């Protein structure tokens, strides 16, 4: 990974840190959606949704294009490709560690649990 990729990864993480933006992204995994239609399920103004879309666009996660009179949003190809391995690696690392910890804990003398 070069430096520019890493800088973009920071943008991606930041973009994904918001639940509305994650929901928009998930919606787009089923295909292109109009900008107006994207706002529908959210209790949010159109400008607010547009700002979220802008953040996703800046992070390289979505692209916008015109289809007739409609402005459409599309998931950028391989948009999440670079963040996913990183998160997977973290998850794998802890999964492995904690599976081994299970074994260690089993061998420890059980301590009395208080009445629950």
Partner 1 sequence: MPPLQLTLEGDTDVLVTRKFNATPENVYRAHLEPELICQWMAAWPGWTMPACETDSREGGAFRFEFDGGEEGAFTTTGEYITLTPSSLIVHVERMHMPDPAPDSHVCTTFEASGTGTLLTLKMSLPDAESRQGMMDMGAADGMELSYAKLDEIMS
Candidates 31, 68, 113, 115; binder of partner 1 (CB under 8 A) is 113
Pick between residue 58 and residue 98 the one whose CB is nearest to partner 1: 98
Single out the segment in contact with partner 1 by CB under 8 A; choices: 33-41, 51-59, 61-69, 75-83. Answer: 75-83
In the block, residue with structure tokens 């399920």? 41
CB of 14 to partner 1, least distance (A): 6
Phi, psi of 114 (to 5 degrees): -65, 165
Q: Which string of DSSP letters, residue by residue, matches 82-115?
A: TTHHHHHHHHHHHHHHHHHHHHHHHHSPPPPPPP
Interface pattern 5-44 for partner 1 (x via CB under 8 A): -xx-xx--xx-xx----x---x--x---------------
Phi, psi of 93 (to 5 degrees): -60, -50
């Amino acid at each position: 990974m070069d430096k520019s990729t890493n800088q973009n990864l920071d943008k991606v993480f930041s973009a994904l840190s918001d639940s509305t933006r994650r929901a928009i992204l998930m919606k787009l995994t089923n295909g292109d959606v109009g900008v107006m239609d994207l706002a529908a399920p959210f209790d949010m103004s159109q400008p607010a949704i547009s700002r979220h879309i802008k953040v996703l666009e800046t992070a390289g996660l979505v692209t916008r294009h015109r289809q007739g009179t409609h402005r459409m949003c599309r998931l950028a190809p391989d948009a999440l490709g670079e963040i996913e391995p990183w998160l997977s690696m973290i998850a794998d690392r802890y999964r492995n560690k904690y599976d081994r910890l299970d074994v260690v804990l089993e061998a420890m003398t059980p301590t009395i649990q208080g009445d629950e």
